Amino acid sequence: MSIEKSFEFDQENQKQLDKIRTKAERSDVTYDLNRWFGQRMHQDDPELLKIQKQGFISESIAWLKSTTSEGMKYGKATKEERLAKAREFAEKAKTTIEQLAEQQVIELT
């Protein structure tokens, strides 16, 4: 019986990890990773850090896209504030907004 419960727990964790991995394609998932896999995060689990990095990149790209004329229609943050947030997440991902902008074909002017 304990083996079955252990298997269910592992299977549930895998489902949650898959959900977080998908969410990382759109936004920062640090909170979710710490909530569900806190101990592994504190042990610098490479798989989780890779997912976290993808979330940082996705978040940075979203902030970069919000600096376009279309993106500036939404919210109250200035372009400088948006670039600062993009830079913050890019630095967490150990990259630059210039590299991300080039990959995504976003003008930084």
pLDDT at 2 over 50: no
Listed as own residue / partner, the contacts of 3-10 with beta carbons closer than 8 Å and 24 or more positions apart are none
* 109 belongs to a structural domain: no
Tokens of 26: 């759109």
- Is residue 7 scored above 50 in pLDDT? no
pLDDT digits (tens, 9 = 90+) for 84-100: 999 999 999 999 999 99
The 10s digit of each residue's pLDDT in 30-72 is: 999 999 999 999 999 999 999 999 999 999 999 999 999 888 8
Q: Which two tokens stand for residue 12?
A: 């549930």
Tally of domains within the chain: 1
71 occurs within a structural domain: yes
Q: Is residue 8 assigned to a domain?
A: yes
Q: Which domain holds residue 100?
A: 2-104
Residue 19 falls inside a structural domain: yes
Answer yes or no: is 25 within a domain. Answer: yes
Q: How far is CA 56 from CA 6, 12, 28, 33, in A?
A: 32, 25, 5, 13
User: Is 18 within a domain?
Assistant: yes
Is 67 contained in some domain? Answer: yes
Amino acid 19: pLDDT:
96
